Chain A
Amino acid sequence: MQTISPAPNSAPKHVNAVIESRPASTAAPHSSVVSVNGVAVSYPSAHGIFQALSNVSLDVARGEFISLIGPSGCGKTTLLRLIADLAQPTSGELRVNGGTPNQARTDRSYGYVFQSPALYPWRTAISNVMLPLEIIGLSPTERQQRAAGALAAVGLTEAAGRYPWQLSGGMQQRVSIARALSLQPDLLLMDEPFGALDEITRDKLNLHLTDLWRERNLTVIFVTHSIPEAVFLSTRVVAMSANPGRISRVIECPFPQRRTLDLRNTKQFLDVSQEVRDALSDAYADE
């Protein structure tokens, strides 16, 4: 917990605050969806040991939208991969839904959206969305129904029969989000999903994502390089810095759950953005 002490509201206190503000989840604080405790990751390198993450602690309550933001190489992807059980910490402990990340992965309790859409080019859009449903062994009719529902949720019903190379970058990324949603997880891990898209498309997808988050009561951990995107989507923005990768500040975004694009013109939004920018300029100055 010490790592985030520079932030005015340290993590445990904040988690309590969030849980109190949501009568739906009356669970005790330890039931946070993701809890990261003093985690470090190091890799051997030419100059000895490279610290990709050092003493990172973070608690994410149900229904939160957390953005990870920071200079490249500060360990955002690494942190997401630890939660997803795609990588292992050198030290420290992670809990996902109260269990180990490995249990969460074998339970298929999260959906992961990669930086590249990672669609299978020999499958149509809907068949890509059905892939996880095939893996868990659903019947063909059920697969079809669920995949169609997931595609509809990202507004891609008409593109169901098209191959990835027949889709724009934004549509490909929406298919990959539908694929992650098709397993109906409560937790969504997203690694710079909109990083390669133009601003207009990105705005659209941000609106889509914030609606999905609210309507399905998802918990989202979202990596981005864009301050407005992070502030617009999140309940909290986690600013990270590199060398060693660590959390430098956690900034709250105290906006209502329902968000529209005009939120970005409010004074409160600009103030929070400025706060994130300040935290990040410290992080970049550290380099």
Chain B
Amino acid sequence: MNNVMTFRHTVPGWLRQAASIAVILCIVLAIWSVAATLANPAPSDPEPGWLPANWWNDRPILPSPPQVAVATWNGLFGYPVSSPRSLIFHAGVTLEAALAGFALATIIGIALATAIVHSRLLDKGLLPWVIVSQSIPVLATAPMIVVVLGNAGFTGLLPKAVISASLAFFPVTIGMCKGLRAAGSAQIELLHTYNASGSQIFRKLRWPAAIPYLFPALKVAMALAITGAIVGELPTGAQAGLGARLLIASYNGLMLLMWATLVVASLTAGLSVGVLTLIERALPRFRASQ
């Protein structure tokens, strides 16, 4: 108990967080290694080495951790960034659509939440639809969005951004509905005693009170926006983007490429969410007091 206390008090928070992430990572890697050893047949001409021979199978069923690490590294740094074989190139294409979708989702989410908290009718009439919209699989809506927008003359970035936004607007809407309602009744009545207008109440109270709810919602939205952009690349027959890469890998049974692409997708999401966390930290912080 005593040791735990001193550990808590002497080790900085970020280090403790890094340590717990490392522990989880080690557990995942251990399970993955065992599974890779069991799943893959041994290659016909095993190379000598200290790792299990079937970890280097050319067409693995379940690629081993070092195999995926090497494939990811090559995908990222083995080609010039402009090359269609570079995963950085594809991640850039996907990220562009995801950021556009994220921006769209943020605007739509905030606008919807603002409308919902200001109108009892919309609260009753609109919010259920917002929730239902998320139970429709994006794999079903994505081709529809592509076809509709394609007929209207929009191709390329926009359909992907819209698909991405259709996933990402949801956490923003829900988070901001909660945030815009977070102000206490005394804080609101205070403004009534000044005869403040509705827009003043929004600007001076509801909006700043919602900021602590906005960032957690934006982080979820960012991750969803990237998922959405990848899914959006599947039905568009896109030549570029992580989704297009996944499709090619899956058609050709290139398990290693598939895994490497997925790792890069996670890294992209992690980095984007990390940037949001940095922005959040840079903002003046306050404790919710009441």
A-side residues, CB < 8 A to B, are: 84, 86, 105-106, 108, 110-112, 114-116, 118-122, 131-132, 134-136, 163-165, 183
* Complex Cα gap A158–B17 (Å): 38
Q: Are A114 and B189 in contact (CB under 8 A)?
A: yes
Q: Are A116 and B186 in contact (CB under 8 A)?
A: yes
B189, B208, B288 — most chain A CB neighbours (10 Å): B189
B195 interface neighbour in A108, A118, A122, A134, Cβ under 8 Å: A108
B205 in the interface, Cβ–Cβ < 8 Å? Answer: yes
* Complex Cα gap A105–B192 (Å): 8
Return chain B residues, CB-CB under 8 Å to A115: 186
Q: Are B211 and A118 in contact (CB under 8 A)?
A: no
Q: Are B191 and A135 in contact (CB under 8 A)?
A: yes
Interface positions, chain B 203-256, Cβ under 8 Å from A, are 204-205, 208-209, 211
Residues A112 and B211 in contact in the complex (CB < 8 Å), given A121-B286, A164-B289: no
B35 in the interface, Cβ–Cβ < 8 Å? Answer: no
Residues A120 and B187 in contact in the complex (CB < 8 Å), given A135-B200, A135-B204, A165-B286: yes
Residue of B nearest to A132 (CB): B194
Q: A132-B194, A135-B195 are in contact. List 15 more A-B contacts (CB 8 A).
A: A84-B193, A86-B192, A86-B193, A105-B195, A108-B195, A110-B193, A116-B186, A118-B186, A120-B209, A121-B287, A131-B190, A135-B196, A163-B286, A165-B289, A183-B194
* Complex Cα gap A126–B211 (Å): 21
* Complex Cα gap A99–B200 (Å): 26
B184 in the interface, Cβ–Cβ < 8 Å? Answer: yes
Return chain B residues, CB-CB under 8 Å to A84: 193
* Complex Cα gap A184–B155 (Å): 61
Interface positions, chain B 152-190, Cβ under 8 Å from A, are 184, 186-187, 189-190
Q: Are A136 and B194 in contact (CB under 8 A)?
A: yes
A114 interface neighbour in B186, B194, B284, Cβ under 8 Å: B186
B290 in the interface, Cβ–Cβ < 8 Å? Answer: yes
Q: Are A134 and B287 in contact (CB under 8 A)?
A: no
* Complex Cα gap A164–B184 (Å): 15
B-side residues, CB < 8 A to A, are: 184, 186-187, 189-196, 200, 204-205, 208-209, 211, 284, 286-290
**Distance (whole angstroms) from the CB of B288 to the closest CB of chain A:** 6
Return chain A residues, CB-CB under 8 Å to B287: 121, 165
* Complex Cα gap A110–B290 (Å): 24
**Distance (whole angstroms) from the CB of B208 to the closest CB of chain A:** 5
Q: Are A131 and B204 in contact (CB under 8 A)?
A: yes
Q: Are A105 and B187 in contact (CB under 8 A)?
A: no
* Complex Cα gap A119–B193 (Å): 14
Return chain A residues, CB-CB under 8 Å to B289: 119, 121, 164-165
Could you list 12 A-B pairs, sorted by A, with CB under 8 Å? A105-B192, A105-B193, A105-B195, A114-B186, A119-B289, A120-B205, A120-B209, A122-B208, A134-B204, A135-B194, A135-B200, A183-B194
Pairs of residues from A and B, 5 with the lowest C-beta to C-beta distance, nearest first: A118-B186, A121-B286, A135-B194, A112-B193, A114-B186
Residue of A nearest to B197 (CB): A135
* Complex Cα gap A131–B211 (Å): 18
* Complex Cα gap A108–B290 (Å): 25
Residue of A nearest to B191 (CB): A135
Return chain B residues, CB-CB under 8 Å to A120: 187, 204-205, 208-209
Return chain B residues, CB-CB under 8 Å to A118: 184, 186-187, 190
Return chain B residues, CB-CB under 8 Å to A86: 189, 192-193
**Distance (whole angstroms) from the CB of B108 to the closest CB of chain A:** 25
Residue of A nearest to B205 (CB): A120
* Complex Cα gap A136–B286 (Å): 26
* Complex Cα gap A86–B192 (Å): 8
* Complex Cα gap A110–B190 (Å): 12
Return chain B residues, CB-CB under 8 Å to A114: 186, 189-190
* Complex Cα gap A122–B204 (Å): 10
Residue of A nearest to B195 (CB): A106
Return chain A residues, CB-CB under 8 Å to B211: 122
* Complex Cα gap A243–B19 (Å): 61
A119, A131, A135, A163 — most chain B CB neighbours (10 Å): A135
Return chain A residues, CB-CB under 8 Å to B204: 120, 131, 134-135
Return chain B residues, CB-CB under 8 Å to A132: 194
Return chain A residues, CB-CB under 8 Å to B195: 105-106, 108, 135
Residue of A nearest to B283 (CB): A122
* Complex Cα gap A134–B290 (Å): 23
Q: Are B190 and A112 in contact (CB under 8 A)?
A: yes
Return chain A residues, CB-CB under 8 Å to B288: 121
Return chain A residues, CB-CB under 8 Å to B191: 135
